[in-house]
Amino acid sequence: MKVLNRGFIIVSPKPIFIREALGNLEADILTPDHPEPSIYLIEEDFWDDAIVLKKYLKRILNAEIKQLDYENESFLSKIKFDNIHDFFNISMGSLVFDLDERPIERLTDD
């Protein structure tokens, strides 16, 4: 087991995010009750969750909407730092353990 020099932000979209983002695209059929979370690795040492979340908010939102394979820019502009928890469950931490013995591979440069 390896300890990585990264912190993390876990972002779990709430069903309302998926329904609002997809609009009239039969979102009720596509919206699971507990969508799978995404984990974003960040700097290891941070003192203020709010500052770090604000720093990465735009990149996280873009990644979350791309996962739906539908880009609704007008909807994304409605999500701000002040209302982010209406659309996502978010948790943060600073310990990342790699239980896989294989080296980490980078799939994209995004």
Confidence label for 106 from pLDDT (cuts 50, 70 and 90): confident
What pLDDT shows up at residue 56? 96
What pLDDT shows up at residue 1? 87
* 39, pLDDT greater than 70: yes
Greater pLDDT, 70 or 55: 55
Question: How many angstroms from the chain centroid is the CA of residue 110?
Answer: 14
Tell me how many degrees the CA angle 77-11-64 measures, rounded to the nearest 5.
45
Confidence label for 16 from pLDDT (cuts 50, 70 and 90): confident
* 54, pLDDT greater than 70: yes
- Token code pair at residue 85: 């928890």
Beta strands in 16-87 (DSSP E): 38-42
Mean pLDDT calculated for residue range 39-68: 92
Distance, in Å, from the CA atom of 107 to the CA atom of 10, rounded to the nearest integer, reads 20
Distances from the Cα of 10 to the Cα of 25, 28, 33, 64, angstroms:
26, 24, 17, 12
Question: How many angstroms from the chain centroid is the CA of residue 33?
Answer: 17
pTM higher than 0.75: yes
* 2, pLDDT greater than 70: yes
Four-residue CA torsion sign, 50, 55, 61, 64: negative
* 60, pLDDT greater than 60: yes
Confidence label for 30 from pLDDT (cuts 50, 70 and 90): low
